[in-house]
Structure 1
Amino acid sequence: MLDILRRIVQEVSSASDLNDALRVVVVRIREAMETEVCSVYLFDADSKRYVLMATEGLKQEAVGRVSLSSSQGLVGLVGARAEPINIDNAPSHPKFHFLSETGEDPFLSFLGVPIIHNKRLMGVLVVQQRDSRQFDEGEEAFLGTMSAQLAGVIAHAEATGNILELTPANTERKSTRFNGAPGAAGVGLGTGYVITPAADLISVVDKMAESIELELENFDRALIAARGEIRQLGAQLSNDLRPEEMALFDVYINMLDDNALGAEVTGRIREGHWAPGALRQVVMQYVGHFQLMEDVYLRERATDILDLGTRILAHLQGVSEDEPEEDEFPDDCILVSEELTPAMLGEVPTSKLRGLVSVKGSSNSHVAILARAMGIPTVMGVVDLPYAQLHGKDLIVDGYRGVLISNPNEEIREQYQEIYEEELALQEDLEVLRDEPAITLDGHRIPLWVNTGLLTDALRSLDRGAEGVGLYRTEVPFMMQDRFPSESEQQKIYRQQLEMFAPAPVTMRTLDIGGDKSLTYFPINEANPFLGWRGIRVTLDHPEIFLVQVRAMLKASEGLNNLRIMLPMISSVHEVDEALHLIYRAHAEVIEEGCDVDMPQVGVMIEVPSAVFQIRDLGLRVDFLSVGSNDLTQYLLAVDRNNPRVADLYQAFHPAVLSALKIIAEAAHEVGKPVSVCGELAGNPLGSVLLMAMGYDMLSMNATNLPKVKSVIRGINLEWAQRLLDQVMQIESAHVIAAMVQLALEKEGFGRIIGPASGRC
C-alpha cells in the first residue's frame, strides 16, 4: 500500500491543474482500494454546500452540478465531525441522503474522510461499494493519508486562482491565506514577482577536466564576476542602508575570498575536476553541513552559500546576462522566492518594492534584517506556499501578523488598502508627540525606551522620541562578521550607540547567542538549542569573549557614562555572581589602562520560569530587572515563537503569562528595584496598558510602535488601566483578554491607534 501511495502522490503532484489532480485521485484510489466508487466533494464556504467535483463510479454528468448543504447526508456528517465515517449499510443511517442525480442508490458501504488544510475544512473524500463492507483500519488510514495530500493540492489551487468556481452564483475569486512569521512590520499590496536562481547548481554533473589550467582560468573569471555582481547589488541598496547593514554584503564578499570558498573549489579543480562540478561539490558540502544543524541562523547561512554558488555557476555558464531588467519589475512589486537572500533584494529597484515573501527563513534571517532597516513589509517561513505559481498574481503582505493573502477579493483589498493609508496618515499625526512625555491624564509618567540592534534602529528611535535604549542587541554586529569582532571594533560600534543617545541611558545586553541566534564561526549544534547552550551560559563558559565585550563597552562609555549592562538568559543567582565578578574585573582592568569610566549599572533579564521565582534574590544583587517577554512567553507556554506551525499557540495575553508578569513587578518593587519590559508586549498598545497597570517602571519597544504606545498612555488614566487589569486577571482565555482590552481602548477612542497588529494574542 505504501508503494501505491507514493505513486499516487507523485502522479497528483505532477498534475497540470486541480481538475486533473482530482481525476487522478478518484481513479487511482478506486483501483487501489478495489472498490466501486471514489468521489471528492469540495466545500464552498460562501454557499455552505458540498459540491461533487470529481467521481469515478457515479454519473459524470453530476460533477459540478450536484451539491449537499453543510448539514446534509453522510458527507455533511463527515465534515461536521471532522473525522472519518465508516459504515456498511449507508441507507439505514439516519443521516443518509439519497441523491438520484448521481445514481448512488445501490451502494451500501460508505467510507468518508474530511479534507482539512491548516484547520480549515476543504471537502470530503468518499469511497463506496454496492456490497455491505466494513472498510478495515488500513484502508481508512490510506484514505486519510490521501485526503491530507489532496488538501495541499486544493490549497495551492486556491492560492493561484486555478480552482473552478463551485457554484454558478459564486463569481468572485477565492482569496487564500498562508501563515508565516512576521519579518518586517507593515502592509504591502501589489503584484507577485517570483525570483529564481540564475542557474541550477544541484543538477551539475561530475566530470573530469580536459584542461585544468583552462578550468582554473574560467573559475577565476567567474569568481571575479560574482564579486563584482555582489558589490553592484550592494551599491544599489547603499542609499537605503547604513554602513552597518551594508556589512551584510561584505560577508558575501568574504565568503568569495580566495582563501575561503574559492580556495576549496580551486583545490578540487587541481585534483582534476571541471570547474562547475568542483563548485557544486564544495558548495553542497557546506550546504549539507549547515542544513543538518538545528540552529535557525546557521541553516540560513546555508542559503547564503547556495546563493553565492549559484551566482558563480551562472557566470561560469555565461547566463548572467539573463537577469531581469529594471522595467521588468512591476511598479508595485511583491518579491517572492523559495529562499530570499540579500543579493536577490538588491536586484529590485527599492522604489518598486512593496513587500517580500520567502517560503523559507525566519525573522532573524539576513533578508529580514535588511527589510526592517528599509521598512519593507515582509513575511518569512510561509509553509505550503506554491511560490512558483504566484508570478503576476495579486498579493497582500501582512507583515504585522506574518500572513500572505493571494487573490484577495475586492472586500479584502479595500480593507488592507484602508489599513495602508491609515498607517501613513497615523505616522504623520503622531509626529507631533515626538518630544512629549508619556504621561497619563492623572499624572503618572512612564518612560518609553527602544530596542535597537542596527544603527538605523537608533536613528529611527530618535526621530520618534525615544528616551533611552532598553535593549541594545550586541549580537547583531557579531552576526555580520565572519569572525569575532576585536575589542577595538566592538568599542567603535558601541560608542556610536552611546553617543547617539547621550546623555540618555543605553542598556547593552551581553552577547546572546544560541537558540534561534548563532554565529557561523562559532557553531552551536544541539538537539534542542532553546533549552541548551545559549545566552549567559555561553559567555560564562568563554570568559575571554565576555571580558573582551565588557571591556569594549566600558571603554566606549568613557566621558559619557550612560552605559547599562544587562545579562541575558539568567536562570540562577550563581550565574549573576559569576558574571558580576567578571564585570568588576573588566572595570578594574580598564581603569588600570587609564580610562576614566564609572562602574555602570548592571541588570538581569527575566526570561525563564526559574528566574520568576527568584526575583528577590536576583534583585538584591543587581541594579535593575528587565523582562524579556518574548522568551518568557515561549518558555512558559512551551511554544517555539519562530515556528509558523505553532504560531497560534504563542499567546502574549495568556493568563499564565500575565500572572507571571504581575508576580515579577510586585516582587521587584518589594526589594526596591526598578523593573521594565523589553519584549514585543511592551510595544503592543494593548499590552502596554496592562504592563503600566501592573506597575512596570519603564517599557522598551521597537521604534515603530513607540508613538502609538505614547498616544494611548497620554489618553487614559492609570486608575482606569488598573481597573481594566483587575477585570482581565479574572479571565481564563488569551483571546478573550485581548478582545476585552481592545474593546476597552476602542471605547476610549483609540480604535485608529491600536490598528491591525495590536489585537494579535
Structure 2
Amino acid sequence: MLNSLRSIVQEVNAARDLKTALAIIVSRVKTAMKTEVCSVYLRGPEGDYVLMATEGLNADAVGRVRLKDGEGLVGRVVTREEPINLEQAETHPSYQYFPETGEERFSSFLGVPIIHHRKVLGVLVVQQVERRRFDEGDEAFLVTMSAQLAGVIAHAEATGVMVAIGEKAAQAKFAGVSGASGIAMGEAVVITPPADLRSVPYKTCTDVEAELAFFQKCLQAVREDIKGLGEQLKTRLNREEQALFDAYLAMLNDASLGKEVTERIRQGTAAPSAWADVILEHERTFSSMNDAYLRERATDLRDLGRRVLAYLQESNQKCRIYPDQTILVGEELTASMLGEIPKDKLAGLVSVQGSSNSHVAILARAMDIPTVMAAVDLPYTQVDGRTLIVDGYKGTVYTDPGPELRKHYKAIYLEEQELVKGLEALKDLPCETTDHYRLPLWVNTGLMTDVVRSLERGAEGVGLYRTEVPFLLRDRFPSEEEQRSIYQEQLSAFAPHTVTMRTLDIGGDKALPYFPIEEANPFLGWRGIRVTLDHPEIFLAQIRAMIKASEGLDNLRILLPMITSVPELEAAKVLIYRAFNELLEEGHSVKLPPLGVMIEVPSAVYQARELSARVDFLSVGSNDLTQYLLAVDRNNARVADVYQAYHPAVLRALRSVVDDGHAEGVSVGICGELAGDPGAAILLMAMGYDVLSMNATNLPKVKSVIRSISLEQARALLSEVMTLPDADQIRQRVDDTLRDLGATRLIRPASSTD
C-alpha cells in the first residue's frame, strides 16, 4: 500500500491540471483498493459539494450531482469531518439516492474528508456492489491518501483559476496572514532563487523567433561548458564515466529536450518557463520508475536543467524593468530581495511562506509597505505581470481584480490616506493620557529611510536599532569603520534623543548569505548573543564601532539580544569593557554607554531581577518572547494562528518583567510588535512600561489612543483582562474599549493575526 500511495501522489503531482489530477486519483485508488467505484466530491464556489470525478458511477453525473453540508452520506462526512464506513449504505438514515449516478447497485460505502488548513475541500469515496465492511487497513489507506492529496488538490484548484496571460482572466482570492497593514494595487513581479526549476514564473513571449534564437544561444553556451568540463576531467575519469558528458550533450540536441522546448516556445511560452516545465515533467517520470538506475537519472536531468536555466535567467535579469507599482511576490521573501527594487516603485509584498512576525514582515512594517505573508495556496509562479490587490489588513491577495473590487479598494485606500493625514496633526503633541500621565514613544529602525519617517511622526528616541540590517544588505561583513559611519548617521540624526543599538542578532530567520548557519531547529540554536560570544572578533569590532560613533554625541545605549543566563551577560560585559578601555587607550574621548538586555526567552523572564541588578535597563522583545512561551515558530504558516500576543501567559510574563525590573530600580521598555498595537499599548502602559518602541507607521496611532484614555481607565481594563482565560476574549474586550474611545478605525481586522 505504501508503494501505491507514493506512486499515486507522484502521478497526481505530475498532472498538468485539476481535471487530470482527479482522473488519476479515482482510477488509481479504485485499482489499489480493489473496489468497483472511486469518486471525488469537491467544494464548489457556492459552498456545496460537487461530484468532480468518478470511475464506476455514470460519467454523465460529473458536475451535475451537488450536495450541501449534511446532505446525503457525502454531506454527513463533511459535517462530521471524519470517515464514514458502511457495509449497507442504503439503510443509513442519511443515505440519499441520486438516480443520475447509477449508484443504486452499490451497497458498501467508505467516505473520508479531504481537509486542508482546517477546511473540508471535499470527500474521497469508494463503493462496492457486494456488502463489504472495509477493514481498518482500507480505511487507514484512504485517510492517508486524502491527507496526502489535500495540498495537491488545493494547489490545483488555485492554479485552475489562473489562466494564461492574454486570455480572459478570472478574479481570484487567496488567503494569507497580515504582515503589514495597508492596501496596495499594482503589477506582480515574481522573484525567485537563481536556477530553481520549481520556482520559474510562467511567462509568454511575443517575438517567437527571437525567443527561439535566445534559447539556442543558451543551449550552445551550456554545450561549450559541458565539453570544457569533459576535457578538464578526461584524465581523471574512465570511459564509462566520461560517457555521462556525451549523454548530457545528447539530451540537449534538437531531437530530444530541445525539440520539446522549441515546440512550447512556438506556442507562445517564454523559454525559461518552457524549459522548466519540460525538465520537471521528465524528472517526475524518472523519479517514479521502479528501476533504481533510471530513478538516479532524475538527478542528472536536474543538474542539466539548472545549468541551462542559469543562462536563461541571467540574460533575463539584466533587462528586467520594474513597474511603478511593483507588488513583489516570492516563495520566501528576504530582506536582501527588498533592496533589489527601487524604493519609489515598491508598493506591496506577498510571500508564500513566513508569518506576520517573520523578519521580512517586520521590515515591511518599518518601511510602511502593505504585506501579506503565508499565502500558501497562491500559485505564485503564474502571477508574474498580473494585476494584484494586496489587503494587508485582512491578509488577502486578489489576482486579476474586476472593476467593482478595484473601486472598493480604491475607496479604502483613500480613506486610509485621510486617516494618516488626521494623525499627522498629533506629531508635536505630547503622548500623555487625559489625566496627564506621560508615556514616551520611541521607534524601531534599521534603514536610513526610517529616520526621516520617524522624526516626521514625532519619535522621541530609538528603542531598537537593528544593526543586522546593514549586515544583511552586504555580501561580506562590514568593516569596523563602515559600521562606525553607519551608526554615526543614526546617532546624529536622532541626537540628542537616545538611540538603543542592538548588537548583531543573526540566526533563526535572519541568515547572512556569506555566513550561513544550517541547523535543524534554528530558533533553538546558534543565534543572537550565542553567535557573537563565539566570535569575539565580530562582537568587539561592532562594540568599538558603536562607541566611537557616539563620541561627542553620548546618546547611545547598547542592547544585548537572546540573553538566557547571567553568565552570558557577564561574558558580554567583559568584552564591552575591553573594547571601551581599548578606545580610551587609543585617545578617544568616549563614555561607557548604558547597557541593557533583551527579555526574549522564558529563562530571562524568571531571572529578570538578577539580570536587572547587572544592567541599566531591560527591553522586552515581545515577538520572540511570545514565540518561545507558546512554542510557536512564528515563520511557520501552519501555526500562524496559534501565535497570539494577547495570550494570558504572554501578558502575565510581560507584567512580571516590568515588576521585577522596577524592583531593582531600572527602566523597562518593550520593542516588540505588540508595542505598536494601539489596544496592547493601553495594557502595556497600565503595566508600568517606561517606554514603548514601535515602527514609525504605528506611532501616531498609538499616540492617538493614549491621548484619549486616562491611566485610571487603562489600569481598570488591565485588571479585567488579566482574569480572562484566552486571547480571543482579551482581544474582544480591548477592541470594545477602542470602540468606546472612538478609535474603531484602529482596530485590527478579525481575520488577521496578532
Whether 1:578 aligns to 2:576 is no
Alignment correspondent of 1:241 = none
3-state secondary structure, aligned to 1:565: strand
Whole-angstrom CA distance in 2 between matches of 1:66 and 1:559 = 79
Q: State the one-letter code of the partner of 1:489.
A: E
Whether 1:721 aligns to 2:718 is no
Whether 1:428 aligns to 2:393 is no
Distance change (3 Å), C-alpha of 1:269 and 1:621: farther
Q: TM-score, normalised by structure 2?
A: 0.79
Whole-angstrom CA distance in 1 between matches of 2:403 and 2:504 = 48
Alignment correspondent of 2:19 = 19
For residues 379-458 of structure 1, what are the structure 2 equivalents within 5 Å?
A: 379-380=372-373, 382-391=375-384, 395-399=388-392, 403-406=396-399, 416-458=409-451
Q: State the one-letter code of the partner of 1:42.
A: L
Alignment correspondent of 2:672 = 679
Q: State the one-letter code of the partner of 1:616.
A: R
Whole-angstrom CA distance in 1 between matches of 2:663 and 2:342 = 55
Alignment correspondent of 1:68 = 67
Whether 1:631 aligns to 2:627 is no
Tell whether the 8 Å contact from 1:181 to 1:644 is kept in structure 2 after alignment: no
Whole-angstrom CA distance in 1 between matches of 2:454 and 2:305 = 33
Tell whether the 8 Å contact from 2:357 to 2:635 is kept in structure 1 after alignment: no
3-state secondary structure, aligned to 1:526: coil
Q: State the one-letter code of the partner of 2:570.
A: D
Tell whether the 8 Å contact from 2:336 to 2:473 is kept in structure 1 after alignment: no
Alignment correspondent of 2:269 = none
Whole-angstrom CA distance in 1 between matches of 2:617 and 2:28 = 66
Q: Deviations over 1:10-36 (max 9, x none)?
A: 443344433333233223322222211
Whole-angstrom CA distance in 2 between matches of 1:654 and 1:366 = 21
Alignment correspondent of 1:525 = 518
Whether 1:474 aligns to 2:467 is yes
Whether 1:133 aligns to 2:104 is no
Alignment correspondent of 1:51 = 50
- Uncovered stretches (5+) of structure 2, i.e. residues with no partner: 164-168, 200-216, 219-224, 235-244, 250-303
Alignment correspondent of 1:462 = 455
3-state secondary structure, aligned to 2:696: coil
Identical aligned residues as a percent = 61
Whole-angstrom CA distance in 2 between matches of 1:73 and 1:744 = 46
Tell whether the 8 Å contact from 1:18 to 1:153 is kept in structure 2 after alignment: no
For residues 211-222 of structure 1, what are the structure 2 equivalents within 5 Å?
A: none
3-state secondary structure, aligned to 1:470: strand
Distance change (3 Å), C-alpha of 1:692 and 1:575: same
1:699, CA displacement in angstroms? 0.2
Tell whether the 8 Å contact from 1:738 to 1:759 is kept in structure 2 after alignment: no
Whether 1:179 aligns to 2:176 is yes
For residues 30-179 of structure 1, what are the structure 2 equivalents within 5 Å?
A: 30-44=30-44, 46=46, 48-160=47-159, 162=161, 175-179=172-176
Alignment correspondent of 1:300 = none
Q: Deviations over 1:345-385 (max 9, x none)?
A: 78978766543334457889998798667644334554343
Tell whether the 8 Å contact from 2:395 to 2:752 is kept in structure 1 after alignment: no
Whether 1:556 aligns to 2:549 is yes
Alignment correspondent of 2:561 = 568
Distance change (3 Å), C-alpha of 1:362 and 1:90: closer
- Which stretch shifts more, 127-136 or 574-583? 574-583
Distance change (3 Å), C-alpha of 1:130 and 1:569: same
1:89, CA displacement in angstroms? 1.6
Whole-angstrom CA distance in 2 between matches of 1:24 and 1:192 = 33
Whole-angstrom CA distance in 1 between matches of 2:23 and 2:198 = 33
- Which stretch shifts more, 374-383 or 51-60? 374-383
- Which stretch shifts more, 698-707 or 366-375? 366-375
Q: State the one-letter code of the partner of 2:118.
A: K
- Which stretch shifts more, 486-495 or 331-340? 331-340
For residues 473-622 of structure 1, what are the structure 2 equivalents within 5 Å?
A: 473-622=466-615
1:641, CA displacement in angstroms? 0.8
3-state secondary structure, aligned to 1:704: helix
Q: Deviations over 1:409-446 (max 9, x none)?
A: 88876664444333222222211111221111111110
CA RMSD of aligned residues (A): 3.9
**Counterpart pick for 1:188 among 180, 184, 188:** 184
- Which stretch shifts more, 696-705 or 532-541? 532-541
Alignment correspondent of 1:251 = none
How many residues align? The count is 661
**Counterpart pick for 1:313 among 288, 311, 314:** 311
- Uncovered stretches (5+) of structure 1, i.e. residues with no partner: 165-171, 204-220, 223-263, 279-305
Whole-angstrom CA distance in 2 between matches of 1:543 and 1:587 = 14
For residues 339-418 of structure 1, what are the structure 2 equivalents within 5 Å?
A: 353-359=346-352, 375-380=368-373, 382-391=375-384, 395-399=388-392, 403-406=396-399, 416-418=409-411
Q: Deviations over 1:457-513 (max 9, x none)?
A: 222211211100001111222223333332222211111111010000011112222
1:523, CA displacement in angstroms? 3.6
Q: State the one-letter code of the partner of 2:537.
A: E
1:591, CA displacement in angstroms? 1.9
Whole-angstrom CA distance in 2 between matches of 1:342 and 1:512 = 14
- Which stretch shifts more, 499-508 or 457-466? 457-466
